[in-house]
Amino acid sequence: MKIPPEASQLIKMLVNNFPHPDMAGDRAITSHIRTGIFVVLAIVSLGVSRVYIAPERVLAILLSKYVAVTPVWTPAEALIVMNVRLPRICAALMVDAALADAGSAYQNLFRNPIVSPDILGVSDGVSLRFSAVFSRSRALS
């Protein structure tokens, strides 16, 4: 698959502006590696499921929203990627960010880097609520 010049310019711009000037040396390289792994895994996970879609098609579908790309995918594949899998991955990222923020808030509140939700009994309350909701949903079905 040939990358259009517009996409190539966008990639160059992102690479030249990353990492942040405050980051230095090994930390910047580690950040590049993590970002690269994240992007590769996100593209692969958009294509892997019951209906397999090749990573280059997934990338072409995503890029087609911003640059002119010759369609090499079916409309069904575009629908699956954009309306089913991409929202799920975005939701998972938001939940992950919320959990990270909650963990950071716990650590900051208690001034303890190894604090866990068990300290306030949050885990017990969440498990009780989950079991109540789960048992109710089983009874309704």
The alpha-helical segments, DSSP class H, found in the chain are 5-16, 26-47, 55-63, 75-79, 86-110, 122-140
User: Residue 84: is its pLDDT beyond 80?
Assistant: yes
Residues 125 and 98 reside in one and the same domain: no
Residue type, 74: T
User: Residue 139: is its pLDDT beyond 80?
Assistant: no
Residues 50 and 10 reside in one and the same domain: yes
Q: In this predicted structure, what is the pLDDT of residue 93?
A: 87
Spatial contact of 106 and 117, defined as CB atoms under 8 Å apart: yes
Expressed as residue numbers, the domain containing 84 is 5-110
Enter the pTM of the model: 0.60
| pLDDT tens digit sequence for 18-45 | 555 555 556 667 778 888 898 888 888 9
Residues 81 and 137 reside in one and the same domain: no
Q: Which of 72, 66, 91, 50 is nearest to 58 (CA)?
A: 72
Residues 52 and 78 reside in one and the same domain: yes
Residues 53 and 35 reside in one and the same domain: yes
Query: Number of C-alpha atoms within 13 angstroms, CB side, residue 22?
Result: 0
Residues 102 and 57 reside in one and the same domain: yes
User: Residue 14: is its pLDDT beyond 70?
Assistant: no
